[in-house]
Amino acid sequence: MENFNALQKILSTPQSICIITHKNPDGDAVGSTLALQLGLQQLGHKVTSIVPNDFPEFLKWVPQQEHILRYNKSKSECANAIQDANLIFTLDFNDFSRCGDVAEEFKKTKADFVMIDHHQQPAKYAKYTYSDSNMGSTCEMIYHFFDQLNILHVLNKNIATCIYLGIMTDTGSFRFPATTNITHQVIAKLIEAGANNTEIHQQTFDVNSFERMQLLGVALKNLNVISEQKTAYIHLNKEELNAHNYQKGDTEGFVNYALSLQGIVFAVIFIESLDEDLIKISFRSKGEVDVNLFARKYFNGGGHKNAAGGRSTQNLSETISFFKEKLSLHQF
């Protein structure tokens, strides 16, 4: 991190700190936010954590998650915390556009920003930037950040659990290429500090509703293969979501079924949004197929080489046609 020594010096005396993560927070976003909050609080800092909107039910077991403020629910409380802060940590995103309306509040602050993130092409808004796209998760970076600050002694069961969660979810349970020997060494330290690997997996993954399983059935029936392009895609429309009492997070991981088909290197899921006039798209790939570039180029999105997101304001069938047209320009 540039200016690391200066940041370390600032953090050696109590500060007023805000931590903010991206919209539609995932396990890595929630885990890194809480781990950092709990660690900094132990050092005597005043810390408020903010998410732009709520996170899915399957993350509601996470220690201390009930203290995170939802910007869309308590705007003035969040605005006050941001104005009160002299340091704002932004976690697990590389550009203000990823955190929605909260960014408006940043225009009024004189606080210095600290970015900790593993997405490609980081924006340059932070005085202190710790950006590393080789990292599998922001949670792993939080561990290394604590290590660099010489404060690994703050690790306890709750913090270890939060860090474990984000590493687990962002590495696809330790299988994506960004999972390294160092990642496993970090995991060993987290288990030593009290993280219960079995419980964390069960509480996160073994909590499916019957409706979600049925919706997965619909998604799998809607699976299409374009063999020339080694591509598979899934679509879900509003009616299908509503018929299965769709809850936030229910479609998490569906796209991986498309990628699990033999010979497929590029997988996509198109999901009609229930509350906005758009199609949300998730891209996944294997090996050198770069979905970050694809999502940026055609779908106003981005992410990582093997996992990215984007959106389209055309309707579902137009979006899929446009996708097929652009896909045909590529050979994997």
Task: Give residues in contact with ligand 5GP (CB under 6 A).
Answer: 98, 282, 301-304, 307-310
Q: What angle do CA 208, 212, 213 make, to 5 degrees?
A: 80
* Complex with Mn ion: residue 141 or 232, whichever CB lies closer: 141
Give 21's strand partners.
91
Given a contact cutoff of 8 angstroms between Cβ atoms, the answer to whether 36 and 130 are in contact is no
Nearest alpha carbon to residue 279 among 243, 323, 322, 315: 315
Residue of 18, 25, 27, 28 interacting with Mn ion (CB under 5 A): 28
Q: How far is the CB of 283 from ligand 5GP (least distance, A)?
A: 7
Residue of 95, 140, 170, 290 interacting with Mn ion (CB under 5 A): 170
Q: How far is the CB of 304 from ligand 5GP (least distance, A)?
A: 6
* Complex with ligand 5GP: residue 85 or 99, whichever CB lies closer: 99
* Complex with ligand 5GP: residue 28 or 47, whichever CB lies closer: 28
**Which entry of Mn ion, ligand 5GP, none binds 310, CB below 5 to 8 A by partner kind?**
ligand 5GP
Total chain residues near Mn ion (CB under 5 A): 4
* Complex with Mn ion: residue 94 or 231, whichever CB lies closer: 94
Q: How far is the CB of 99 from ligand 5GP (least distance, A)?
A: 11
CA of 263: how far to CAs of 179, 259, 330, in Å? 22, 9, 16
- Say how many C-beta atoms besides its own lie within 10 A of residue 12's C-beta: 10
* Complex with ligand 5GP: residue 195 or 307, whichever CB lies closer: 307
* Complex with Mn ion: residue 170 or 250, whichever CB lies closer: 170
Nearest alpha carbon to residue 270 among 283, 259, 257, 260: 283
Nearest alpha carbon to residue 135 among 274, 276, 1: 1
Q: Is 250 in the site for Mn ion (CB under 5 A)?
A: no
The single-letter DSSP state of residue 250 is T
- With CB under 5 A as the contact rule, which of the stretches 40-48, 81-89, 166-174, 311-319 interacts with Mn ion? 166-174
- Residue 108, SS3 per DSSP: coil
**Which entry of ligand 5GP, Mn ion, none binds 240, CB below 5 to 8 A by partner kind?**
none
Given a contact cutoff of 8 angstroms between Cβ atoms, the answer to whether 169 and 27 are in contact is yes
Nearest alpha carbon to residue 214 among 261, 260, 251, 249: 251
Residue of 20, 24, 25, 92 interacting with Mn ion (CB under 5 A): 92
Structure tokens given for 23 = 């919209």
**Which entry of Mn ion, ligand 5GP, none binds 117, CB below 5 to 8 A by partner kind?**
none
Number of continuous H segments (helices) and E segments (strands) in the chain? 13, 12
CA distance 314 to 256: 24
Q: Is 105 in the site for Mn ion (CB under 5 A)?
A: no
Q: Which residues bind Mn ion (CB under 5 A)?
A: 28, 92, 138, 170
